[in-house]
Amino acid sequence: MNLSEILKDSNYKLTQFTLRQITKLENTIELKEVRGKEIPFINCLVRRKAIQLKPEEVVRQLYLMVLNEQYGYPFERMGIEHPVSFGREKKRADIVIFDKKDTRSIYIMVELKKPKLKDGKEQLKSYCNATGAPIGVWSNGDSISFYHRKDPNYFEDLSAIPKATEKLSDILTERWTIDDLVKKDKLVTEKKSLKDLILEMEDEVLANAGVDVFEELFKLIFTKLFDEMESGRNKTRHLEFRNYGDTETELKEKIQSVFDNAKNKWEGVFTEDAKIMLTPSHLSVCISSLQDVKLFNSNLDVVDEVFEYLIGKSSKGEKGQYFTPRYVNVSDSSCKSNFVKTKDLPANAKTLVKKGDILISKVRPYRGAVTLINFDQKDLIVSGAFTVLREKETSIFSNEVLKVLLRTKEYKEWLLKFNVGTSYPVIKDIDVLNLSIPKISNKVQETITDKIQLSSNLKKQSEYLLEVAKRAVEIAIEENEDIALEFVKKET
């Protein structure tokens, strides 16, 4: 039996583990008959007895290997299902590592029972607070998070946990260069998106920080981009957008200084007297969340997703679908919908749209991200990152023509004049609505529309022919070329 069969209907995955570790565990699986069914069992690495191999147990046994082989912790320092007291109630922690000197104190707490990060982190925080454990780990076998418990109110991200031969201070004070950041980029190693980290920061501190969240996050990303650029030019330079064991006040002074240097380098984005408004304690949590993420020279869609989430942040939509800007194809202006359960709708999903509406992205307008909804579908909602144009009955302008016009070089450059910021341009609805458009005769519009339709039909035809060609190659490999040619003739 392989592990993927056991995890098949669960929310756990194996991507955090090596093929060698997975194979090693699979080779020790023993099938036992229980009530007429064959059930997989494993000899637990810590408890030294046979345990039924359920999805959570798969991830636990693999992570025990990681703790032992990668970090050097002996199994004798580990505990499984360790009791944690909450008054009269007792719960059980998945894995604990005891302190080297005080074997009654918990040094590292590991949570695996909750496969969703938000639930898992809350459980982990409660266990760490109840036991005083300074380090926490959450994983579902796909994503992984490391935390330092500074006090019951704040948990800061760690780049990793200390090895058995290291101290927590070694991790906190380790100096990073840009090459270190590339190698250890959290978006890759922890399988998270930048938006995931922002949502986590909101839950931890930003929701109650009393500041303009968009403005403060923009300052931090702006500062981090500058810091990475400076280190990219000097590979031996240590990154400054990091907490190297600074006090919260020292850290804020350092980050403010980097922000000031960034403002001087990229003038016009912020006012000269702009300051980071987060408190030192809130800023410390945000820095720990962002410091292991590489932004400079990376795919800007990573940053787009965050700003598109923040720009139109308001009340949730009440319908069942959300049309997200990530599915606007900038190269050909096509679009498609994505089904999302109402409870999972992002906060900025707020505008109901329908067939015939034109969507214009307010983020980085120079991309020409303009599309026309050309299909019927109930309850489509778009984010506040779009300006939505709807045709009036008295309109003398074709939607197809207007879409093409707004995607021209002249209009992209025109919209860029209204942007707020230069490194990450954002425009407003009013900037789009105030655009002047030329008068075009009905005859010319009909000619343009006909050419657009012809272009669209040719594109669909070429896509179909490409699929036929792909299938023909497969047939030629599997059967022979004569059968493949017959297939092509039949399909074309």
User: Which pLDDT tens digit goes with each residue over 79-101?
Assistant: 999 999 988 889 999 999 999 98
pTM for the whole thing? 0.60
Residue 339, exposed/middle/buried by CB under 10 A (0-12, 13-18, 19+)? exposed
Give the pLDDT score at 227. Answer: 94
243-263 CB burial, b ≥16 within 10 A, e <16: bbebebeebbebbeebbbebb
Residue 307 lies in a domain: no
| Alpha-carbon gap, residue 401 to 240, rounded angstroms | 49
Count of residues in the chain: 492
Tracing tokens 């309850």 back to the chain, one arrives at 379
Joined together, the tokens standing for residue 427 give 């425009």
The answer to whether residues 290 and 349 belong to one domain is no
Residue 380 lies in a domain: yes
Pairing of strands 106-111, 135-139: parallel
pLDDT digits (tens, 9 = 90+) for 439-448: 889 899 889 8
Residues 82 and 111: beta-carbon distance below 8 Å: no
Q: pLDDT confidence of 347, banded at 50, 70, 90?
A: low
Give the pLDDT score at 327. Answer: 34
Mean pLDDT across 106-124 = 92
Lowest mean pLDDT segment, chosen from 65-69, 338-342, 404-408, 483-487:
338-342
Predicted confidence (pLDDT) at residue 340 exceeds the cutoff of 80:
no
- Percentage of the chain exceeding pLDDT 90: 44
Predicted confidence (pLDDT) at residue 244 exceeds the cutoff of 90:
yes
Residues 40 and 6: beta-carbon distance below 8 Å: yes
SS (H, E, C) the chain: CCHHHHHCCCCCCCCCCCHHHHHHHHCCCEEEEECCEEEEEEECCCCCCEEECCHHHHHHHHHHHHHHHCCCCCHHHEEEEEEEEECCEEEEEEEEEECCCCCCCEEEEEECCCCCHHHHHHHHHHHHHHHCCCEEEEECCCCEEEEEEEECCEEEECCCCCCCCCCHHHHHHCCCCHHHHHHHCHHHHCCCCHHHHHHHHHHHCHHHCCCCHHHHHHHHHHHHHHHHHHHHHCCCCCCCCCCCCCCHHHHHHHHHHHHHHHHHHCCCCCCCCCCCCCCHHHHHHHHHHHCCCCCCCCCCHHHHHHHHHHHCCCCCCCCCEEECHHHCCCCCCCCCCEECCHHHCCCCEEEEECCCCEEEECECHHHCCEEECCCCCCCEEEECCEEEECCCCCCCCCHHHHHHHHCCHHHHHHHHCCCECCCCCECCHHHHHCCCCCCCCHHHHHHHHHHHHHHHHHHHHHHHHHHHHHHHHHHHHHCCHHHHHHHHHHHC
Domain that holds residue 218: 194-298
| Alpha-carbon gap, residue 307 to 421, rounded angstroms | 13
Mean pLDDT across 165-186 = 93
Predicted confidence (pLDDT) at residue 334 exceeds the cutoff of 70:
no
The answer to whether residues 325 and 452 belong to one domain is no
Residue 174 lies in a domain: no
The answer to whether residues 139 and 217 belong to one domain is no
| Alpha-carbon gap, residue 120 to 127, rounded angstroms | 11
pLDDT digits (tens, 9 = 90+) for 415-437: 877 776 555 678 888 888 888 88
Lowest mean pLDDT segment, chosen from 37-46, 180-189, 320-329:
320-329
Give the pLDDT score at 344. Answer: 55
Mean pLDDT across 337-357 = 65
More confident residue, 339 or 76: 76
The answer to whether residues 393 and 467 belong to one domain is no
The answer to whether residues 154 and 29 belong to one domain is yes
pLDDT digits (tens, 9 = 90+) for 262-318: 999 888 778 889 999 999 999 999 999 999 999 876 656 667 677 766 665 533 333
The answer to whether residues 274 and 341 belong to one domain is no
Residue 211 lies in a domain: yes
Give the pLDDT score at 397. Answer: 84
Ramachandran category for residue 290: left, alpha or beta (phi over 0 → left; psi -120 to 50 → alpha) = alpha
Tracing tokens 């408890």 back to the chain, one arrives at 47
Predicted confidence (pLDDT) at residue 72 exceeds the cutoff of 70:
yes
> Within a 13 Å sphere around the CA of 174, how many CA atoms are in the beta-carbon half?
18
Give the pLDDT score at 462. Answer: 85
Ramachandran category for residue 150: left, alpha or beta (phi over 0 → left; psi -120 to 50 → alpha) = alpha
Mean pLDDT across 376-392 = 80
Domain end position, chosen among 409, 425, 440: 440
Lowest mean pLDDT segment, chosen from 9-13, 41-45, 360-364:
360-364
Mean pLDDT across 115-130 = 91
Domain count, the chain: 4
**Which CATH number covers residue 141?**
3.90.1570.30
Residue 225 lies in a domain: yes
Cβ neighbours, 10 Å, residue 397: 17
Domain end position, chosen among 113, 148, 166: 166
The answer to whether residues 104 and 125 belong to one domain is yes
Residue 416 lies in a domain: yes
Q: pLDDT confidence of 342, banded at 50, 70, 90?
A: low
Mean pLDDT across 341-356 = 66
The answer to whether residues 41 and 147 belong to one domain is yes
The answer to whether residues 139 and 17 belong to one domain is yes
| Alpha-carbon gap, residue 391 to 337, rounded angstroms | 21
The answer to whether residues 343 and 407 belong to one domain is yes
| Alpha-carbon gap, residue 361 to 432, rounded angstroms | 10
Mean pLDDT across 160-186 = 93
Residue 171 lies in a domain: no
What is the phi/psi pair of residue 241, to 5°?
-80, 60
More confident residue, 24 or 456: 24
Of these ranges, 163-177, 365-379, 426-440, the one predicted with the greatest mean pLDDT is 163-177
Cβ neighbours, 10 Å, residue 132: 12
pLDDT digits (tens, 9 = 90+) for 205-239: 887 788 888 889 889 999 998 999 899 889 999 99
Give the pLDDT score at 123. Answer: 92
Mean pLDDT across 167-183 = 93
The answer to whether residues 468 and 486 belong to one domain is yes
The answer to whether residues 144 and 20 belong to one domain is yes
Residues 244 and 159: beta-carbon distance below 8 Å: no
| Alpha-carbon gap, residue 138 to 117, rounded angstroms | 7
Domain end position, chosen among 298, 325, 344: 298
**Which CATH number covers residue 386?**
3.90.220.20
Residue 271 lies in a domain: yes
